[in-house]
Amino acid sequence: MDAETLARRCVEAMWEEDRASQALGMQVIATGECRAEVSMTVREDMVNGHSMCHGGMIFTLADTAFAFACNSQNQAAVAASCTIDYLRPAQLGDVLTAVAEAVHQGGRSGLYDVIISNQEQAIVAHFRGRSARISRPVIEEESA
């Protein structure tokens, strides 16, 4: 199986089980080796009274894209540490897209950058995640 197909299968398997990302209405836009793109529309239950999106929802979108990217080589990995820098607010109704890419993927630890933009391509936040592999596959070898 080539790297792109393997990445897609890993993300499909993760997505199937990821009730949190599903409940937030996320959509997987693209997958690939050590990268992933996920979008989410800012809903009523994600904002405050000023219609501004909770920072945790923006982080969660980025974290999902990060997880899909760092698990895409069929070596299960978990987030060890993440940093987010907020540049501008997201509003009710905005369609946010998080694009995750590996800055570095070593044998065990990885460093990934995720850029979160709105529907006008304005950058909402920058996220940097550190992953650690945990010595098991994402999907069964047979299906891989």
Q: Alpha-carbon distance 97 to 116, whole Å? A: 6
Structure token digits, residue 60: 């969660």
Q: Which is nearer to a second copy, 91 or 109 (CB)?
A: 109
The least distance separating a second copy from the CB of residue 4, rounded to whole angstroms, comes to 23
Least distance CB 2 / a second copy (angstroms): 26
Tell me whether residue 48 or residue 121 sits nearer to a second copy (CB atom).
48
Query: How far apart are CB 86 and a second copy at their closest, in Å?
Result: 6
Nearest Cα to Cα of residue 114 among 54, 64, 56? 64
Token output for 67: 């997880």
Q: What is the CA radius of gyration of the chain?
A: 15
- Least distance in Å: CB of 23 to a second copy? 4
In the bound state with a second copy, the residue whose beta carbon lies nearer, of 2 and 44, is 44
Between 6 and 38, whose beta carbon lies closer to a second copy? 38
Which residues contact a second copy (rule: CB under 8 A)?
Answer: 14, 16-23, 44-50, 53-57, 59-64, 67, 78-87, 89, 103-104, 106, 109, 111, 123, 126, 128, 130, 132
Six token digits for residue 72: 């895409």
For residue 118, the 8-state DSSP code is -
Q: What is the rounded CA–CA span in Å between residue 65 and residue 98?
A: 6
